[in-house]
Amino acid sequence: MLNAEELGVTQANVGEMMGSDNPAVKRLLGTEGAFGEKLGLGNDWAANVIKAVGNYGETFEPS
């Protein structure tokens, strides 16, 4: 969630960020590499978290 905030990935734009050319964004969202598999999760686990609750800063915004 911290990485998402630093990379500009939000709950609102996570879908479009899946097509980013930035390697760090690609790894975070599971479109490149196999980080999730190494944790026993799907590669899109971080994207799913961000879709559900947003990035770190968004979790502290009042509803």
pLDDT (tens digit, 9 = 90+) per residue, 8-38?
A: 999 999 999 999 999 999 999 999 999 888 8
**Would the pTM count as exceeding 0.95?**
no
State the Cα–Cα distance between residues 5 and 58, nearest whole angstrom. 8
Please tell me the total count of domains within the chain: 1
Q: What six digits make up the tokens of 29? A: 């969202």
- Give 62's pLDDT tier (boundaries 50, 70, 90): confident
Domain of residue 44, residue span: 2-60
Whether the pLDDT of residue 63 is over 90: the answer is no
**Other C-beta atoms lying within 10 Å of the C-beta of residue 43:** 18
pLDDT on residue 54: 97
Side-chain-side CA neighbours of 28 within 13 Å: the count stands at: 26
